[in-house]
A = this chain, B = another copy of it.
Amino acid sequence: MKKEHRILADYLKQKGLKQTYQRFFILDKFLAAKRHLSADELHAMVREQNPKIGFSTVYRTLKLFTECGLAKEVNFGDGRARFERAIDRSQHGHLICANCGKAEEFTLGSVEKTIARIASRHGFKIERFRFKIYGLCKKCR
């Protein structure tokens, strides 16, 4: 059993929720994706193999993934939430192209100490942070 299936299964049990076919099917599709997906885009992928699964279910399931730490919601300013894998991934920022809309990632190792220092100076308790650079990617510039 995949690590991510285990995490989802445990979370469902802990919360008294049910292990449904849809939830694990959507999880597999989500993990297979290479890009940052919106609920709409993931639904399109899911529906290719499984046209019965509705948008609502995909949408709610993505929220569920976010709750149990399997996914992170990211927002690139185009008015639709996107989701990315959040297991076994180091902190990273996004380079978002204004032309093609694709998002590259960059590691944040060198910035993390700075972030911690800033927060403590303001008496602020960090839950999470987002670092985004908007501009033009190599291809589009």
Contacts and interface: CB of A to CB of B under 8 A. Distances in A.
Interface of A: 75, 77, 93, 95, 97-98, 104, 106, 110-111, 114-115, 118-119, 121-138, 141
Given A111-B114, A114-B110, A124 B135 contact: yes
Number of copies: 2
B127 A134 contact: yes
Pairs A-B, 6 closest by C-beta atoms: A123-B138, A127-B135, A129-B133, A125-B136, A126-B135, A125-B141
Nearest to A124: B95
Nearest to A140: B125
Nearest to A139: B123
Contacts of A131: 129-132
